[in-house]
Structure 1
């Protein structure tokens, strides 16, 4: 379908927005809302503030590594307060609905930075933060031209001082974070997020420095001194962590009160953490019931086998990609503009063919048997498609925001929704895999909340997930626990809860429009409105204010007593 079709659909959506909610949708309007703040300032002032905030937010030095000295961090806190004070002077009460949405989206971005600077503080609490800053450079392809070689040498020579400063910064280290960092310094994660393929995966960050040194020995020998100096600094950092680890007892989660504040003010979720656990537990039970019933239904069918060769896997991938693309058009699911890559090779895919000594890990156990569940989530109409659409957004605020509830919620939504629409009616074993993914996402939601509320450790979370998720292995469980503990809070719960919010928005819009509802128009709106928190999209699309009204009464982080947990 052509871009002109997409634009026409977007125009139709805009017209429906202007028309506002239908009269029979009044129950959503009955709530007496908290009002948007009054004040001076225009939407143009908001854009100017956000532009300045974005330009200031990243403070990298010449080596490409971020300065987290106390002086630099305090300077960031002071500058953030200036942006927050400017925002307080802006009042969106008389603005159009879409502009009010922009205001709340910007406020959430400032609140997220506030939380990073004053609560999560990874440079002070998480020694793995510094590993993340260093490891990607070790993937560098050699040989390098002179200018790029000089940049790499500058980076490598900065590592000893960077890690020396890390020891000063890490004055509030948490036990789970320390254990994860020690593990990742000397062990491969077995998952390979963004890593180049190696037949034998290097043993953590130290192993990747060895890999870089071995390649440099034959391809660019003059790099050897800088590589060895950086490697030794990393070894010394590991030895320091092992030495201090017995005295590290702090918990890694942010605590219940901070987590709930973050859910409301940054994620803009209409649920607190207790409600999220209850909803996720119900989803875990529902999905396990459907998985059990699907296994019963398919009991006389052969299990899907792992392919034996890359060619066999790629043939299956090509067939699944063609099936999904045709189905999206035939079903009227979403507009696929001409600028979206037309082949799976151009679009990319999530799981390259890898031969591992210990056999496929969790994701590969599913994807190699049938790639289509993950292809829906990660490729089309999921993340890669979503990314291509987002890059066409030119809005000065929305083009620069990507909320995980919207992005990961969409990824999970486009796994189960095609299942319900019949895409896999003739592929019964594939339906089981959709439910396996759903089980992991629901279990991760509960693990996310309980780790952040300091009710479960990483090891306890890994064991809990493995109890509920077929095929799940230690490496994937550990990597995911680390991701959802170490990222801004609420990322792990955003898959299931984001899907719930999108399903609720689907219900609202279908009931609001009645016979005029068109599923493709609904999905096209999501692709063109910006990847904002779903509560904001719901207000913009339907005009329903029952969720958004709870967000106007804003309590700054500085006024929250986080010691009350």
Structure 2
């Protein structure tokens, strides 16, 4: 049967255009002997970890409303991972195709991520924000929806007090930075608010949003008031407990240097150490800062671009940018955009702030193209459309941050060089500004995780290295890179450098036969695996994946 399936696949793909052939081959089922056992293991593992955690390879690791977090449950989860590791190691992976081996290593990274989460990160013990993260979404809820929606909201509201009560019992090893960030977020708007419902004056943090929900309930759903009040009072009591116990919350926030390097290699599957990434990022920062100086000289006689003054003006800029980008992608044979991919929106809503636009808005409200390439098309939102169409059992559920951010960041400068901004030369300056900020994140991420810098030091470093960078954007970024599974702050610049290297590898390998559109289509068709795994699948080069087959024990704390 497997032989027949292979023969049918060959017959069906004969004569197809190169990019369609690549997509068809990448979506075809893997037929290696024993592969079905890997699929079953992957499904069993994900189910086993519920309730509790998403994989360490994704950014979100917050609590879930209604779930229970306790030491005995987590200890049982940790102990049970050994059986999955034994099942994985028993598979005959060395005889598999490159696609099958890439899937195997992807599942291995998920398993390693779960172990690291349960053994090292332990956010249910160390991070008050773990319990606070899901509470904002509850407070954002509309109170004018159907009775069924209100019933769901009521259930979620009633889960808030027990969740926070359990948190107070669980949080016995709190990091000082985590406590300070939690207190700040309870009482202050984060100053970015991009995914919050719009308010002329943003509510003051999580407590402020529960006040906002309470006011709306009193006006439109008085029957919800008692439940909102109970949830709000639980949040306030949690804030008061944090304040009272802050002095004892002195654990380090980062994982330490040795554990960070272990995580980068065996979960993120990036073939670099922390020291190597800092060196690369500092060089990128120097290169892009020099490029910005040269571009400003080149453009010195051109008028400065001005900020949009209304939502309508910004919407018009986005619409014209989207049309120009799609035309460029098609006319210049950059990447295949299926004909049914419609409007993908925008990543930065138009917001009028009393203090003026933040870092992202300073750029986006002048020229949307840098962020459109990165976050809309052919970046994140287009990438997500393709991911939703992926039917493969392992790759359809896998999304590596280094792959997602590496692809999106690569697109900025790569498509600038390819000609996407030839009619808007001042946009080139903004693309370099984006790259400068992303490069500054790498030392900030690594030094926080190594416990060399506190959040305030990381914020100060990024602001000193990045023109226009404001306190709020820098603090929100620093919080993400310290509190989430390690390595997200490095994903942009390091992932971009991995993309550059893969482009060079493939172009050298194919010579005159290299085609940029085929390269991009083949890369996207591989799914959102770590870039090192995609490189192995595309080129056959084994030097990077050789680092991932054997997983040593997690090192002791520094």
TM over 0.5: yes
- After TM superposition, give the deviation of residue 527 of structure 1 in Å: 1.5
Conserved 8 A contact 1:127-1:178: yes
- Structure 2 partner of 1:418: 415
- Structure 2 partner of 1:338: 339
C-alpha separation in 2, matches of 1:540 and 1:293:
38
- Show structure 2 runs of 5+ residues with no match: 1-12, 27-31, 54-62
Conserved 8 A contact 2:187-2:207: yes
- Structure 1 partner of 2:10: none
- Structure 1 partner of 2:18: 9
After superposition, residues 47-62 of structure 1 pair within 5 angstroms as 47-59=39-51
RMSD: 2.1
- Show structure 1 runs of 5+ residues with no match: 18-39
- After TM superposition, give the deviation of residue 217 of structure 1 in Å: 1.0
178 and 382 in structure 1: CA distance in 2 versus 1, 3 angstrom threshold: same
C-alpha separation in 2, matches of 1:107 and 1:135:
33
Provide, for residues 334-383 of structure 1, a one-character-per-residue CA deviation record: whole Å limited to 9, x for no partner: 00002311xxxx31111111111211111111100111100110000000
- After TM superposition, give the deviation of residue 148 of structure 1 in Å: 2.4
Provide, for residues 155-202 of structure 1, a one-character-per-residue CA deviation record: whole Å limited to 9, x for no partner: 212212211110111111001111100000000011114211111101
Greater shift in the superposed pair: 498-507 or 64-73: 64-73
5 and 333 in structure 1: CA distance in 2 versus 1, 3 angstrom threshold: farther
C-alpha separation in 1, matches of 2:346 and 2:251:
39
Provide, for residues 524-554 of structure 1, a one-character-per-residue CA deviation record: whole Å limited to 9, x for no partner: 1122111000110111111111111122232
TM-score, normalised on structure 2? 0.92
- After TM superposition, give the deviation of residue 487 of structure 1 in Å: 1.2
- After TM superposition, give the deviation of residue 41 of structure 1 in Å: 7.4
Counterpart of 1:469 (choices 442, 466, 471) is 466
Counterpart of 2:482 (choices 485, 505, 510) is 485
Secondary structure of the residue aligned to 1:498 is helix
- After TM superposition, give the deviation of residue 238 of structure 1 in Å: 0.5
Conserved 8 A contact 2:405-2:492: yes
Counterpart of 1:541 (choices 538, 541, 552) is 538
- Structure 2 partner of 1:363: 360
C-alpha separation in 2, matches of 1:134 and 1:232:
13
Secondary structure of the residue aligned to 1:407 is helix
Conserved 8 A contact 2:65-2:159: no
TM-score, normalised on structure 1? 0.91
Provide, for residues 95-142 of structure 1, a one-character-per-residue CA deviation record: whole Å limited to 9, x for no partner: 111111111110000001111111111111111111102111111112
- Structure 2 partner of 1:437: 434
- After TM superposition, give the deviation of residue 16 of structure 1 in Å: 10
- After TM superposition, give the deviation of residue 6 of structure 1 in Å: 13
Conserved 8 A contact 1:41-1:89: no
Secondary structure of the residue aligned to 2:429 is helix
Greater shift in the superposed pair: 243-252 or 368-377: 243-252
59 and 14 in structure 1: CA distance in 2 versus 1, 3 angstrom threshold: closer
Is 1:158 aligned to 2:159, yes or no? yes
- Structure 1 partner of 2:4: none
Structure having greater relative contact order (Cα 8 Å, sep ≥ 6): 1
Greater shift in the superposed pair: 6-15 or 245-254: 6-15
- Structure 2 partner of 1:22: none
- After TM superposition, give the deviation of residue 12 of structure 1 in Å: 4.0
- Structure 2 partner of 1:141: 142
Provide, for residues 364-403 of structure 1, a one-character-per-residue CA deviation record: whole Å limited to 9, x for no partner: 1110011110011000000000000111111111111101
- After TM superposition, give the deviation of residue 205 of structure 1 in Å: 0.3
Secondary structure of the residue aligned to 1:428 is coil
C-alpha separation in 2, matches of 1:299 and 1:11:
44
Conserved 8 A contact 1:6-1:335: no
Conserved 8 A contact 1:188-1:202: yes
